[in-house]
Structure 1
Amino acid sequence: MLTGRLELCAFPCFRYAWEMQRSGRLLQLLQTLRERRGAVTAKALAQRFDVSERTIYRDMETLLELGVSVEGAAGTGFVLRPGFFLPPMALTQDEADAVLLGLRFVQARGDSEIAKAADTALIKIAEGMGDGAEARMRRSGLTVGPSENGRPEELAAIRQAMRNRRKLRITYRAQNAILRSRIVWPVALGFLDRAEMLAAWCELRDGFRHFRLDRIDALSLLEEEIPRSRDNLLAAYRRSEPHANI
């Protein structure tokens, strides 16, 4: 069982990262159901998305609450009812501004890959909102500036490590300027005003720690997998720091 405590306080921005991850998984679940001709079990979905079966059942309940026509039950699998389609996107102006501001943040603070994804997502959202949406977004005046100490070159590797449950090797410069090599299991990536912050399980310290990206002198993605599921690692992090909001 993972134990340990954080060197620094928890950051509310990790909650935002978790919500974005869950929203993306819900969309991927819906797309998976649309592509399958027959029922797909919770076990198969859990393995595909690297979460627990309980998480899949919760996600299915959320899709039902959102009006998605899903049929199925424990042991039999889930299937999308014939004829289901996504209705045209109808966002209020405030909702559109919220989406735009979030995508602008990604464009300004993310690595090149996720910034391109934000560009295409913005185009798709504008198309789904109907005529004139793209022009209205351009007139919004909402913008986000770059980070003072941004490290976009590190972000892609960290995102890949979290997605694929891979360990990272980092050379980290502590406050006393001493450099140490560490093997870490990334849990969350937070974007603060002055720096990006990585929350991770540190093998050297045998506990959860926060690492400022601007103090990481070197970072490499390892082939070795993290010996815990994503859900297990997140649960351990929450137990270690109950106010983390992740």
Structure 2
Amino acid sequence: MSRTARLFQLMQALRSGSSPKTSVQLAQDLGVSPRTVHRDIDALRGLGAVIDGEAGFGFTLIEDATLPPLGFTDDELEALVLGLREVQSIGDPGLVEAASAVLHKLQGRLPQRQSHRLSHAVLAATRLNRPPQPTINVADLRQATWDERAIEFAYTDAKGDNTRRRVSPLSIVYMDRASVLLSWCHLRQDFRVFRLDRMGEMSVTDESFRPNRIPMLRKALARIRADREAAEGESAS
């Protein structure tokens, strides 16, 4: 591995995961010796990266000189942190990890004052009762939705009845009590919502419904709004 590639990987390692990171941890990640990590840390500092820490205490990337500073107002930064904390509270495992990575990357790109503000944000999002964990690989489901490919899966409804469904996935909605898939059900020939924690044995098919996901999603959301307004009208009368 060239020194340039190694320095790039070291920066990536410092941007991701929890901080501080010891030279031993970084050496294991990069497959080099702790002494090499110390030399590379000095090299990165010489290039302008602000890296706090020293041998024996671990290292934290404070400011990344290889990336331009991001421009946020203080309220925008608070909103951003709150949103990412919310993802950490209700998202599937892949999104929880991604939200943590984004926070660490922001830490290295923000000016020092706002980097400190990010670390000590006054807003937080906590769920005492988190949604049930999905029983499928949600990353595969997200990719199938982006690719506009039909999926098949086993499903257990609220009554405990088991069925096999084939649907066109339109959107994943992270709600308070459960995360759900909004889709077009091929069996019912209608829009249906499925809880991710009741789905199992999912497979992605070769059937494409591109480029119809966005128009179908608009219709599904319009249906949901109309049903909600109708229900509110009945309760008010």
TM-score band (shorter)?
Answer: 0.5 to 0.7
Give CA-to-partner distance per residue, 1:177-236, whole Å, 9 cap, x none: 110101011111111112111110000000001111122233222232225422232233
**Identity fraction in percent:** 30
Tell me the distance in 2 between the aligned counterparts of 1:122 and 1:167.
33
2:187 alignment partner, one of 204, 207, 225: 204
Residue matched to 2:116 = 135
Residue matched to 1:151 = 134
Of 165-174 and 215-224, more deviation after overlay is shown by 215-224
Change in Cα spacing, 1:112 to 1:175, as seen in structure 2 (3 Å) is closer
Residue matched to 2:30 = none
Residue matched to 2:76 = 95
Please tell me the root mean square deviation across aligned C-alpha atoms, in Å.
Answer: 2.8
Residue matched to 1:168 = 151
Tell me the distance in 2 between the aligned counterparts of 1:211 and 1:89.
39
Higher RCO structure (Cα 8 Å, ≥6 apart) = 1
Residue matched to 1:124 = 105
1:109 alignment partner, one of 57, 80, 90: 90
- Residue 118 of structure 2 aligns with an amino acid whose one-letter code is M
Change in Cα spacing, 1:184 to 1:128, as seen in structure 2 (3 Å) is same
- Structure 1, unmatched stretches of 5+, are 1-85
Is the 2:170–2:183 contact (alpha carbons within 8 Å) kept by the matching residues of 1? yes
Rg comparison, structure with higher value: 2
2:162 alignment partner, one of 169, 179, 182: 179
Tell me the distance in 2 between the aligned counterparts of 1:192 and 1:165.
23
- Structure 2, unmatched stretches of 5+, are 1-66, 229-237
Is the 1:188–1:200 contact (alpha carbons within 8 Å) kept by the matching residues of 2? yes
Tell me the distance in 1 between the aligned counterparts of 2:95 and 2:135.
10
Residue matched to 2:175 = 192
Tell me the distance in 1 between the aligned counterparts of 2:221 and 2:177.
25
Normalising by structure 2, we get a TM-score of 0.58
Q: 1:132 is paired with a residue of what secondary structure?
A: helix
- Residue 237 of structure 1 aligns with an amino acid whose one-letter code is A
Is the 1:101–1:143 contact (alpha carbons within 8 Å) kept by the matching residues of 2? yes
Is the 2:135–2:198 contact (alpha carbons within 8 Å) kept by the matching residues of 1? no
Aligned counterparts, 1:65-84, within 5 A: none
TM superposition outliers: structure 1 runs of 4+ over 4 Å: 242-245
Q: 2:137 is paired with a residue of what secondary structure?
A: helix
User: Structure 1 residue 100: deviation in Å?
Assistant: 0.7
Residue matched to 1:230 = 213
Change in Cα spacing, 1:239 to 1:104, as seen in structure 2 (3 Å) is closer
Normalising by structure 1, we get a TM-score of 0.56
